């Protein structure tokens, strides 16, 4: 086994690998960019080496700097994590040339599976089922268009060197093909440095089911069962679970054996994931093989009781696989939710900012065999994998993931209930998050019943985004309790001599509190009154008895308003009161109604950037007459393209940014003469 390894990655996967290293007594080395100088993964490792600027191109993608760091620290091996250089054959070859073990498959296997088109040919030879499509070398746009027409619409355009949902477009009609192809190629070139694409028949209502495989250098190869990753937005996974629900034992076995056959076809070594697309009738087809550990590997760890990172290290150290196929078993059900800094209601645009308050449900960061948490094979019911802490910033340079929340239950129903409770306990203040959206999916009828496919979110969009009734009165009571406490008030029963305000000789006290409901952009008032021992809170014409006290925990308050009693937490950020109660999150801004009115958006003619990013295309010329919604600008943020449409009908007067310019969140992009 190795004495020291370098982790050529960042965030939660770097922390995850470091945890296994610590348990096994292996020293770990972190690498970091300017933006990550104080990152959690740096603190998690024994040593750390600075490798460059904030962007990935300046740091985590610099092969020579990582090799230099490994040599300088005496690391015997490099773990690439996922993303960045994890599936880069040049990096694997550079490690080999430097005499450093690459903790991953052989260079030849990465090359074979790195090209989706070449991989399809290999799988065809290995008798692994394939979706009809075009995987050829000729990339002439007209030829590609003809091939798509011959396959029949809808078709799926995919970056040949792609992954993670980038460089993918669904094309419904022949008229849309040329524009979709150009966009797909731009995104593929930006993300992978290769704009080659392949075309496949787009299956309606398919499931995305994948199989975890492992192989060693001694002829051993096994599958650690299946996972369902069908719930996706923008072709990126949101919820994953193991095992995949609703599949027969026969289909599971056939899929597992096909995955092992795929691995053997390229003389695979280490951890890999074979991804299949599955129809409603149970037919499955090979999509691709990811030659690395997957983001969703924790659900497999939770149901098998195996530390997959430890398996990677042992295989890379030329040991045989720890277990045979017959020895591998499934225990219960696990679900993973990816908590992202993003704005679901705005097309899942990434959100940036400082994590001013971050509280995850009670759980552990790593459970499988972790010191003090039980032997391998035992699982805690809730696990948190995260690469950030309170006070850290979500920047535009990297993936906006905050944490992975993983739960385990004896049954899928138990795991679902545990996931719902865990999500309700999450508290994040700073960037927007998808926590509430995840709650809606987990409690939705299709997900709860296992009616899964990759179009679940789009198909149930109206229900998933419908307004929901929140505990407004209870949250308002807690916000007022926090405000009155901050302003020097005392709770019912306290001595008036301890109060800094809110007490008057021979008379009662009344205070009008101005608030703005941040989510609904509405201004309202609440009136707090105290007359002797009696306290009331009035809102919307209803006055009810009101008492409060500070709770025992940090930011915790207890309030009674009318017949409702509630305990919750209030995090105060300036004049904004973030209230977490009854599993919901609400925010109220305290304001002087004489000085403030409800915030208003800019005039119809303003078009502002919905996130920080780079302008990569201007789709019309100045002087063009456009309708509301006409695509005007394409921006790139976190290597994903976002097309921005006209806010109203009018004439484009001028663009305020050129292609290649970096744009701040909220910056005005153009001048539009409305009308």
In a domain, 349, yes or no: yes
Check residue 364 and report its DSSP letter: B
The pLDDT value recorded for residue 594 is 37
Residues 411 and 521 in one domain: no
Of the three residues 549, 565, 590, the one that is the final residue of a domain is: 590
Residue 155 sits in a domain whose CATH number is 3.30.1490.20
- More confident of the two residues 613 and 579: 579
Find the mean pLDDT for residues 612-628. 89
Cα–Cα distance for residue pair 398/352, rounded to 1 Å: 10
Pick the range with the lowest mean pLDDT from 10-24, 320-334, 351-365.
Answer: 351-365
Residues 349 and 457 in one domain: yes
Asked if 214 and 311 touch (Cβ cutoff 8 Å), the reply is: yes
Cα–Cα distance for residue pair 288/518, rounded to 1 Å: 44
SS3 category, 581: strand
pLDDT band at 607 (very low <50, low <70, confident <90, very high): confident
Cα–Cα distance for residue pair 340/441, rounded to 1 Å: 15
368-398 pLDDT tens trace: 543 333 344 446 799 999 999 999 999 989 9
In a domain, 222, yes or no: no
Model confidence at 655: pLDDT above 70: yes
Find the mean pLDDT for residues 462-469. 92
538-567 pLDDT tens trace: 999 999 999 999 998 899 999 999 999 999
Model confidence at 110: pLDDT above 50: yes
The catalytic residue among 10, 23, 233, 292 is: 292
Residue 559 sits in a domain whose CATH number is 3.30.700.40
163-203 pLDDT tens trace: 767 889 999 999 999 999 999 999 988 888 889 999 998 88
Peptide bond between residue 112 and the one before it cis (omega within 30 degrees of 0): no
The pLDDT value recorded for residue 533 is 83
The pLDDT value recorded for residue 606 is 63
Look over the chain and give the mean of its residue pLDDT values, rounded to a whole number.
89
The pLDDT value recorded for residue 78 is 98
Pick the range with the lowest mean pLDDT from 67-81, 336-350, 635-649.
Answer: 635-649
Residues 379 and 506 in one domain: no
Token pair of 562 as six digits: 């009318």
C-alpha distances in Å from residue 496, one per residue of 31, 493, 530, 532:
57, 9, 11, 10
Residues 528 and 580 in one domain: yes
Task: Give the residue from 566, 568, 559, 589 showing the smallest Cα distance to 577.
Answer: 589
Asked if 167 and 197 touch (Cβ cutoff 8 Å), the reply is: yes
Of the three residues 53, 80, 103, the one that is the final residue of a domain is: 103
Spell out the SS3 assignment of 98-151: CCCEECCCCHHHHHHHHCHHHHHHHHHHCCCCECCEECCCCCCHHHHHHHHHHH
Token pair of 474 as six digits: 């209870």
Q: Position of tokens 């790593």?
A: 366
pLDDT band at 281 (very low <50, low <70, confident <90, very high): confident
The pLDDT value recorded for residue 116 is 73
In a domain, 122, yes or no: no
Model confidence at 321: pLDDT above 70: yes
SS3 category, 434: coil
Q: Where in the sequence is the domain holding 139, given as residue range(s)? A: 134-201
Question: What is the sign, positive or negative, of the torsion defined by CA atoms of 319, 325, 327, 330?
Answer: positive
- Give burial (CB, 10 Å; 0-12/13-18/19+) of 654: exposed
Distance of CA 228 to the CA centre of its chain: 16
Asked if 428 and 402 touch (Cβ cutoff 8 Å), the reply is: yes
End-to-end CA separation in angstroms for the chain: 71
% of the chain with per-residue pLDDT over 90? 70
Domains held by the chain: number = 5
Cα–Cα distance for residue pair 285/276, rounded to 1 Å: 5
Model confidence at 608: pLDDT above 60: yes
- Give burial (CB, 10 Å; 0-12/13-18/19+) of 348: buried
Q: Position of tokens 């950037």?
A: 609
Q: Position of tokens 């460059």?
A: 52
- φ, ψ at 28 (rounded to 5°): -125, 145
Plot region of 242 (φ>0 → left; ψ -120 to 50 → alpha; else → beta) = beta
Which residues on adjacent β-strands are paired with residue 637?
640
Model confidence at 310: pLDDT above 70: yes
Cα–Cα distance for residue pair 511/503, rounded to 1 Å: 11
The pLDDT value recorded for residue 638 is 62
Residues 319 and 442 in one domain: yes
The pLDDT value recorded for residue 193 is 86
Model confidence at 602: pLDDT above 80: no
The pLDDT value recorded for residue 445 is 96
432-450 pLDDT tens trace: 999 999 999 999 999 999 9
Residues 77 and 169 in one domain: no
* CB count in 10 Å sphere of residue 77: 23
Model confidence at 605: pLDDT above 80: no
Cα–Cα distance for residue pair 73/265, rounded to 1 Å: 36
498-535 pLDDT tens trace: 444 444 555 567 888 999 999 988 999 999 998 888 99
The pLDDT value recorded for residue 644 is 84
Residues 546 and 641 in one domain: no
Residues 506 and 619 in one domain: no
Cα–Cα distance for residue pair 402/338, rounded to 1 Å: 8
Task: Give the residue from 309, 314, 266 showing the smallest Cα distance to 291.
Answer: 266
* CB count in 10 Å sphere of residue 584: 18
The pLDDT value recorded for residue 379 is 62
Q: Is beta strand 47-52 parallel, antiparallel or unpaired with respect to 27-33?
A: parallel
Cα–Cα distance for residue pair 307/324, rounded to 1 Å: 15
- Give burial (CB, 10 Å; 0-12/13-18/19+) of 472: middle
In a domain, 216, yes or no: no
pLDDT band at 347 (very low <50, low <70, confident <90, very high): confident
Find the mean pLDDT for residues 153-159. 93
What pTM did the predictor assign? Answer: 0.80
Task: Give the residue from 653, 654, 661 showing the smallest Cα distance to 635.
Answer: 661
In a domain, 259, yes or no: no
SS3 category, 347: coil
In a domain, 126, yes or no: no
In a domain, 272, yes or no: no
Residues 531 and 615 in one domain: no
Q: What angle do CA 366, 240, 82 make, to 5 degrees?
A: 60
The pLDDT value recorded for residue 364 is 66
Pick the range with the lowest mean pLDDT from 133-137, 361-365, 435-439.
Answer: 361-365
Residues 38 and 186 in one domain: no
In a domain, 288, yes or no: no
pLDDT band at 640 (very low <50, low <70, confident <90, very high): low
Which residues on adjacent β-strands are paired with residue 354?
393
Q: Is beta strand 4-7 parallel, antiparallel or unpaired with respect to 77-79?
A: parallel
C-alpha distances in Å from residue 174, one per residue of 132, 137, 142, 169, 178:
18, 21, 12, 13, 8
Of the three residues 543, 564, 590, the one that is the final residue of a domain is: 590
Token pair of 599 as six digits: 């915030």
* CB count in 10 Å sphere of residue 110: 23
Cα–Cα distance for residue pair 249/310, rounded to 1 Å: 28
Task: Give the residue from 90, 89, 91 showing the smallest Cα distance to 6.
Answer: 91
Token pair of 21 as six digits: 């290293």
Residues 451 and 505 in one domain: no
40-93 pLDDT tens trace: 999 999 999 999 999 999 999 999 999 999 999 999 999 999 989 999 999 999
C-alpha distances in Å from residue 467, one per residue of 70, 445, 470, 476:
52, 17, 9, 19
Peptide bond between residue 154 and the one before it cis (omega within 30 degrees of 0): yes
The pLDDT value recorded for residue 668 is 86
Does residue 504 carry a catalytic annotation? Answer: no
Residues 397 and 372 in one domain: yes
């Amino acid at each position: 086994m190795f004495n020291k390894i370098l982790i050529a990655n960042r965030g939660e996967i770097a922390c995850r690998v470091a945890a296994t290293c610590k348990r096994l007594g292996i020293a770990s080395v972190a690498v970091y960019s300017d933006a990550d100088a104080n990152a959690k993964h740096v603190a998690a490792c024994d040593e750390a080496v600075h490798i460059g600027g904030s962007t990935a191109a300046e740091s985590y993608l610099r092969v020579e700097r990582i090799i230099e760091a490994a040599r300088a620290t005496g690391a015997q091996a490099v773990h690439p994590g996922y993303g960045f250089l994890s599936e880069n054959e040049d990096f694997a070859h550079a490690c080999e040339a430097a005499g450093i073990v690459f903790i991953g498959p052989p260079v030849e296997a990465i090359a074979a599976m790195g090209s989706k088109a070449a991989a399809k040919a290999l799988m065809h030879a290995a008798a692994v089922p394939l979706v009809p499509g075009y995987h050829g070398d000729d990339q002439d746009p007209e030829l590609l268009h003809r091939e798509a027409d011959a396959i029949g619409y809808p078709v799926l355009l995919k970056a040949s060197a792609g992954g993670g949902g980038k460089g993918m477009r669904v094309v419904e009609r022949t008229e849309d093909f040329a524009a979709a192809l150009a966009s797909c190629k731009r995104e593929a070139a930006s993300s992978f440095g290769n704009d080659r694409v392949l075309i496949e028949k787009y299956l309606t209502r398919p499931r995305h089911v994948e199989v975890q495989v492992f192989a060693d250098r001694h002829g051993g190869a096994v599958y650690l069962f299946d996972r369902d990753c069908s719930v996706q937005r923008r072709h990126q996974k949101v919820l994953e679970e193991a095992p995949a629900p609703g599949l027969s034992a026969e289909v599971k076995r056939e899929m597992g054996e096909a995955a092992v056959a795929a691995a053997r076809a390229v003389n695979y070594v280490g951890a890999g994931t074979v991804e299949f697309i599955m129809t409603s009738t149970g037919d499955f087809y090979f999509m691709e093989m990811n030659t690395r550990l997957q983001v969703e590997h924790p659900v497999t760890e939770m149901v098998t009781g195996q530390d997959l990172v430890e398996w990677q290290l042992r295989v890379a150290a030329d040991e045989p696989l720890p277990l045979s196929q017959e020895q591998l078993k499934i225990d219960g059900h696990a679900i993973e939710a990816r908590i992202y800094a993003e704005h679901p209601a705005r097309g899942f645009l990434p959100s940036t900012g400082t994590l001013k308050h971050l509280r995850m449900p009670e759980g552990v960061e790593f459970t499988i065999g972790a010191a003090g948490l039980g032997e391998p094979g035992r699982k805690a019911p809730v696990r948190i994998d995260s690469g950030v802490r309170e006070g850290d910033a979500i920047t535009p340079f990297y993936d906006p993931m905050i944490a992975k929340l993983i739960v385990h239950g004896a049954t899928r129903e138990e795991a679902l209930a545990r996931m719902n409770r865990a999500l309700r306990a999450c508290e994040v203040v700073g960037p927007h998050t998808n926590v509430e959206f995840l709650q809606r999916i987990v409690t939705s009828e299709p997900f709860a019943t296992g009616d899964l496919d990759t179009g679940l979110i789009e198909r149930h969009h109206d229900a998933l985004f419908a307004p929901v009734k929140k505990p407004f009165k209870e949250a308002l009571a807690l916000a007022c309790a926090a405000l009155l406490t901050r302003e020097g008030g005392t709770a019912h029963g306290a001595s008036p001599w301890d109060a800094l305000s809110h007490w008057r000789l021979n008379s009662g006290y009344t205070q009008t509190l101005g608030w703005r409901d941040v989510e609904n952009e509405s201004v309202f008032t609440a009136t707090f009154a105290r007359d002797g021992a009696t306290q009331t809170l009035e809102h919307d014409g209803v006055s009810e008895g009101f008492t409060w006290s500070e709770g025992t925990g940090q930011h915790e308050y207890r309030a009674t308003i009318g017949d409702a009693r509630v305990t919750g937490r209030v995090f105060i950020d300036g004049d904004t009161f973030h209230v977490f109660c009854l599993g919901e999150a609400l925010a109220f801004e305290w304001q002087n109604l004489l000085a403030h009115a409800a915030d208003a958006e800019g005039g119809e003619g303003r078009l502002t950037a919905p996130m920080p990013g780079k302008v990569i295309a201007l789709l019309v010329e100045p002087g063009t007459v456009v309708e509301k919604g006409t695509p005007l600008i394409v921006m790139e943020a976190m290597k994903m393209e976002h097309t921005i449409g006209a806010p109203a009908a009018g004439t484009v007067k001028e663009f305020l940014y050129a292609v290649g310019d970096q744009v701040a969140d909220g910056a005005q992009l153009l001048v539009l003469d409305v009308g």
